[in-house]
Amino acid sequence: MARRWLSVFESDLPRLCADLENLVRLESPSGEALLVSGLAQWVCDRLQERGVAAELRHCSPAGDALLAAVAPREGGTLLLGHLDTVWPRGTLASMPWSLDGGRATGPGVFDMKAGVAMGMAVLAAMARETRPSPVSLLLVPDEETGSDHSRGLLLSVARGHRQVLVLEPSQDGAAKVARKGAGVFTVRFHGRAAHAGLEPEKGASALAEMARFVVFVEGRCEPGTGTTLVPTLARAGSADNVVPERSEVTVDARAWTRDEAERATEAIRGYRCVDPGVTVQVEGGFDRPPLQPTPAAERLYERARRLSAELGFELGAARVGGGSDGNFTAAAGIPTLDGLGAVGGGAHARGEHVLISELPRRTALVAALCTRE
């Protein structure tokens, strides 16, 4: 079954490459709603031409999402991806599309326009089947900035699907079976200002308290758990001769498991100021839950491994620190396998590239996973 899909996508490869070129040439930076929506419209038009039901869904102010489906019914597969890239408008001028020696380059080619092209190819091929398997494709406009405006749509679409395949890039060819949960805490301290020269003892330094907090929070990362709490931005004070009344620090927080995320959250929220004249206030927290392996997700990965062996390659399993929308669907209890998109490298970097020769079998793997045995 997997090998039949392979021959389909071997013959579809020229069109897949042409789609990829167009996807890269249509720049779609996060936050540029008009550009991102323009790309959503382009994908929508192409899918409709190829016999796939497709529509746009507004995710204001981020732009439009693309939702498409073939033979939709309860228990189908959701292919998940994003339209936006981290590259600002105009990047194409210094990092143009190119296809040379089997490597495609250009802004967003690996993360994740190749995955978008793969998803389009799977739906178009499925629509040509006499008895198609149910498969949907959702491409959100704002994944790179946290999917704040598409999360509700994502969760409501994902419900009713038996599995989610995330077309984010692979990790050196491996699928992503675990992703850390992530979030940002903003911690504010409020002390008492005083003249730093005349009567500093009357002040209560929000800066000194923040410094103690930074040391405290670094000590809460237990080695071996993989939990990281990294103070990243800080500011304090109002003038060079005043005991600082206010200070603020942000903490980048990541954890492999929900338990660890909770432990880290409790540690930060449980901080007590050493100086009785200073108060602390904590905002934020983990907003992307961890993508933790579950028995159902492990079965999904095992099936993917079996199918990839039929296709002539070995599908590794990677655990990665960065999050994706797969974190949300996994936390909602839907078996999720991530990193099923392109093989290549350099995500978010100038060397971003995709290996074209890998596209047919990787796309065949996604189609085979959508097909019931």
Chain residues binding Zn ion by CB under 5 A are: 111-112, 168
Of the chain, the end-to-end C-alpha distance in Å amounts to 8
Cβ proximity to Zn ion: between 19 and 168 the closer is 168
Closest CA to 143 of 338, 342, 335, 361: 338
Instruction: Quote the least distance from Cβ 82 to Zn ion, whole Å.
Output: 6
Question: Three-state SS for 279?
Answer: strand
Q: Which two tokens stand for residue 281?
A: 């206030």
Instruction: Quote the least distance from Cβ 335 to Zn ion, whole Å.
Output: 20
Cβ proximity to Zn ion: between 12 and 142 the closer is 142
Instruction: Quote the least distance from Cβ 176 to Zn ion, whole Å.
Output: 11
What is the phi/psi pair of residue 165, to 5°? -110, 120
Cβ proximity to Zn ion: between 111 and 245 the closer is 111
Asked if 93 and 180 touch (Cβ cutoff 8 Å), the reply is no
**Greatest Cα pair distance in the chain:** 86
Instruction: Quote the least distance from Cβ 338 to Zn ion, whole Å.
Output: 10
Instruction: Quote the least distance from Cβ 281 to Zn ion, whole Å.
Output: 33
Cβ proximity to Zn ion: between 114 and 253 the closer is 114
Q: What is the b/e burial string over 121-157, where b = at least 16 CB atoms within 10 angstroms of the residue's CB?
A: bbbbbbbeeeebbbbbbbbbbbbbebbebbbebbeeb
Asked if 105 and 353 touch (Cβ cutoff 8 Å), the reply is yes
List residues bridging with 291 in a β-sheet. 179
Cβ proximity to Zn ion: between 87 and 185 the closer is 87
Instruction: Quote the least distance from Cβ 168 to Zn ion, whole Å.
Output: 5
Cβ proximity to Zn ion: between 111 and 352 the closer is 111
Question: Three-state SS for 366?
Answer: helix
Cβ proximity to Zn ion: between 85 and 308 the closer is 85
Instruction: Quote the least distance from Cβ 13 to Zn ion, whole Å.
Output: 23
**Residue nearest to Zn ion as judged by C-beta position:** 111
User: Dihedral (C-alpha) 103, 105, 108, 112: value to the nearest 10 degrees?
Assistant: -10
Strands of 206-321 (E only): list them. Answer: 228-236, 246-255, 279-288, 317-320
